[in-house]
């Protein structure tokens, strides 16, 4: 046994259907697979979703889109945050850029013209209040002028919402949706309009427009316990007890002697550390793992390749299985909460060196 990340493809397909059931059958679904499909596996997740009939994929960067093409993906791919130096590569791999500023619009138009490609599919990103990327409503007139002179085919217009999971920000979200609807009204019916992320789909289905973008929902989380129940975590992180030590009162554990036993304490050493994505915040009693269905606290400092857990109260042996998160114990989201973070962060932090194991049967 070793540290493995199990990827349950049947759960992914169930989540895809669960999300589709929240929207009208005509609405297209874009699957967000940036950051190695939220830390899981690009080929496994994208091939499975392509077969299931997803309409679009999105990644953050051009290099991520290239990885999808190299995995044999034929579905259109939107690159959310391309950089000017990578635009030729995007064209070479048939990736569709999000154009979010005049700087990148001009750079991309020039490349398309110089290479006489003509009518290259692109997407326009609008800023409606997240204030991260995108053209503003004020820039609309200038944008329409400079855009239509160029050799680009406008496939979609979109925006991103800041707080779809937060009921206290309903007013703000409604305002963002209003701005987006107003921007949309300046375009003819051709471009696909999309604004909702997972929590948007769950909380504002009336704003689904022509397409929705789901990331975390596909991987099993709805940012709300009510919705988490309808979804199934796709990945489980498992490891093993490498060695057991017994500390006497006064003996210390690990770097900087961060833990000192106040009584006889049994310790299990596990082959996973901060280089694998278990950040130092999980150490010193904050995070727990599960052994023989019982919680074991992570004690002392998290090391690069190891963590140590308190197994004093657990009847276990070297070689026993350890669950860090799994569907039937604690989820990635509840594990993340122990370190004051969110499912997105723990999932995408899981390093390449953790072996991925595909589970294909329910
Ligand atoms: C990451 C991202 C998403 C996916 O958000 P989830 O909350 O994971 O569904 C959607 N749209 C944009 C622009 C993103 O950057």
For the Cβ of 198 lying below 6 angstroms from any atom of ligand 1, the answer is yes
Q: State pLDDT tens for residues 9-45.
A: 999 999 999 999 999 999 999 999 999 999 999 999 9
For the Cβ of 8 lying below 6 angstroms from any atom of ligand 1, the answer is no
27 in a structural domain: yes
Q: Is 263 an annotated catalytic residue?
A: no
Give the model's pLDDT for residue 150.
Answer: 63
Q: Give the integer Cα–Cα distance in Å for 142 and 140.
A: 6
Q: Which segments within 204-320 are labelled E, that is strand?
A: 211-214, 235-240, 243-247, 252-253, 259-260, 265-270, 288-291, 294-299, 307-310
> Ligand 1 center to residue 161 CA distance, Å?
9
Ligand 1: residue of 28, 77, 194, 197 to mutate (most ligand atoms within 8 A of CB) is 197
Q: The CATH number of the domain where 171 resides is what?
A: 3.20.20.10
For the Cβ of 80 lying below 6 angstroms from any atom of ligand 1, the answer is yes
Give the distance from CA 116 to its chain's centroid: 36
For the Cβ of 214 lying below 6 angstroms from any atom of ligand 1, the answer is yes
For the Cβ of 67 lying below 6 angstroms from any atom of ligand 1, the answer is no
> How confident is residue 362, by pLDDT bands cut at 50, 70 and 90?
confident
191 shares a domain with 254: no
Give the model's pLDDT for residue 167.
Answer: 95
Give the model's pLDDT for residue 145.
Answer: 86
For the Cβ of 215 lying below 6 angstroms from any atom of ligand 1, the answer is yes
Give the model's pLDDT for residue 148.
Answer: 66
For the Cβ of 194 lying below 6 angstroms from any atom of ligand 1, the answer is no
266 in a structural domain: yes
Whether residue 75 has pLDDT greater than 90: yes
| Boundary (domain end) residue, out of 220, 245, 279 | 220
213 shares a domain with 98: yes
Please state, rounded to an integer, the average pLDDT across all residues of the chain.
Answer: 96
Q: Do 156 and 80 touch, CB atoms closer than 8 A? A: no
34 in a structural domain: yes
71 shares a domain with 125: yes
Altogether, the residues listed in the chain come to a count of 362
Q: Of 70, 119, 249, 255, which one is the catalytic site residue? A: 255
| Of 197, 194, 208, 137, residue with least CA distance to 162 | 197
Q: Which atom of ligand 1 is nearest to the CA of 217?
A: 9
| Boundary (domain end) residue, out of 193, 220, 247 | 220
Q: Which atom of ligand 1 is nearest to the CA of 216?
A: 8
SS3 for 159? strand
Q: What angle do helix axes 42-52 and 62-70 make, rounded to 10 degrees?
A: 70
Give the model's pLDDT for residue 147.
Answer: 81
For the Cβ of 97 lying below 6 angstroms from any atom of ligand 1, the answer is no
Whether residue 1 has pLDDT greater than 90: no
| Of 338, 351, 348, 268, residue with least CA distance to 306 | 268
More confident residue, 146 or 335: 335
> Ligand 1 center to residue 5 CA distance, Å?
23
Whether residue 189 has pLDDT greater than 80: no
Q: State pLDDT tens for residues 138-155.
A: 999 999 888 866 689 999
3 in a structural domain: no
37 shares a domain with 143: yes
In the chain, the number of structural domains is 2
161 in a structural domain: yes
For the Cβ of 216 lying below 6 angstroms from any atom of ligand 1, the answer is yes
Share of the chain above pLDDT 90, in %: 93
Give the model's pLDDT for residue 151.
Answer: 86
Give the model's pLDDT for residue 297.
Answer: 98
> Ligand 1 center to residue 307 CA distance, Å?
31
Structural domain harbouring 150: 9-220
| Boundary (domain end) residue, out of 220, 254, 281 | 220
Which helix (H) or strand (E) segment holds residue 153: the answer is: strand 152-159
202 shares a domain with 58: yes
282 shares a domain with 156: no
Share of the chain above pLDDT 70, in %: 99
Q: Of 22, 34, 150, 232, which one is the catalytic site residue? A: 34
> How confident is residue 48, by pLDDT bands cut at 50, 70 and 90?
very high
Q: State pLDDT tens for residues 89-115.
A: 999 999 999 999 999 999 999 999 998
Q: State pLDDT tens for residues 195-225.
A: 999 999 999 999 999 999 999 999 999 999 8
42 shares a domain with 13: yes
Give the model's pLDDT for residue 188.
Answer: 81
The beta-carbon contacts of 17-22 under 8 Å, at least 24 apart in sequence, are: 18/217, 18/230, 18/231, 19/198, 19/201, 19/212, 19/214, 19/217, 19/218, 22/201, 22/202, 22/205
| Cβ-based neighbour number of residue 332 at 10 Å | 28
214 shares a domain with 239: no
Give the model's pLDDT for residue 37.
Answer: 98
129 shares a domain with 188: yes
Give the model's pLDDT for residue 237.
Answer: 98
Whether residue 351 has pLDDT greater than 80: yes
327 shares a domain with 251: yes
Q: The CATH number of the domain where 347 resides is what?
A: 2.40.37.10
Nearest CA to ligand 1 atom 4: 215
Q: Which atom of ligand 1 is nearest to the CA of 223?
A: 7
Q: Is 34 an annotated catalytic residue?
A: yes
Reduced DSSP (H G I as helix, E B as strand, rest coil) percent helix, strand, coil of the chain, to 5: 35, 25, 40
């Amino acid at each position: 046994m070793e540290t493995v990340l199990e990827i349950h493809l049947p759960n992914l397909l169930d989540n895809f259907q669960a999300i589709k059931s929240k929207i009208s059958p005509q609405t297209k679904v874009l699957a967000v697979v940036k950051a190695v499909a939220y830390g899981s596996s690009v080929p496994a997740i994208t091939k499975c979703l392509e077969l299931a009939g997803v309409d679009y994929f999105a990644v953050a960067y051009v290099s991520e889109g290239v990885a999808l093409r190299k995995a044999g993906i034929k579905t259109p791919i939107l690159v959310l945050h391309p950089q000017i130096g990578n635009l030729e590569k995007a064209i070479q791999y048939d990736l569709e850029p999000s154009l979010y500023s005049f700087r990148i619009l001009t750079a991309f138009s020039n490349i398309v013209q110089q290479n006489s490609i003509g009518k290259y599919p692109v997407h326009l990103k609008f800023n409606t209040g997240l204030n991260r990327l995108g053209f503003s409503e004020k820039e609309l007139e200038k944008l329409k002028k400079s855009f239509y002179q160029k050799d680009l085919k406008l496939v979609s217009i979109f925006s991103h919402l800041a707080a779809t999971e937060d009921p206290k920000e309903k007013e703000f979200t409604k305002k963002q949706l209003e701005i987006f609807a107003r921007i949309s009204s300046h375009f003819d019916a051709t471009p696909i309009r999309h604004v909702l992320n997972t929590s948007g789909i769950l909380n504002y289905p009336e704003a689904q427009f022509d397409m929705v973008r789901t990331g975390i929902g596909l991987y099993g989380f709805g940012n709300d316990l009510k919705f988490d129940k309808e979804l199934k975590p796709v990945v489980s992180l498992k490891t093993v007890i490498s060695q057991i030590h017994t500390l006497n009162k006064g003996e210390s554990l690990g770097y900087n002697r961060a833990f000192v036993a106040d009584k006889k304490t049994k310790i299990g050493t596990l082959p996973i550390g901060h280089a694998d994505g278990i950040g130092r915040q999980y150490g010193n009693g904050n995070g727990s793992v599960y052994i023989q269905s019982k919680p074991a606290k992570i004690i002392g400092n998290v090391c690069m390749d190891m963590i140590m857990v308190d197994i004093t109260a657990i009847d276990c042996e070297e070689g026993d299985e350890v669950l860090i998160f799994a569907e039937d114990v604690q989820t990635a989201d509840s594990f993340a909460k122990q370190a004051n973070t969110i499912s997105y962060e723990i999932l995408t932090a899981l390093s390449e060196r953790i072996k991925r194991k595909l589970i294909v049967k329910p």
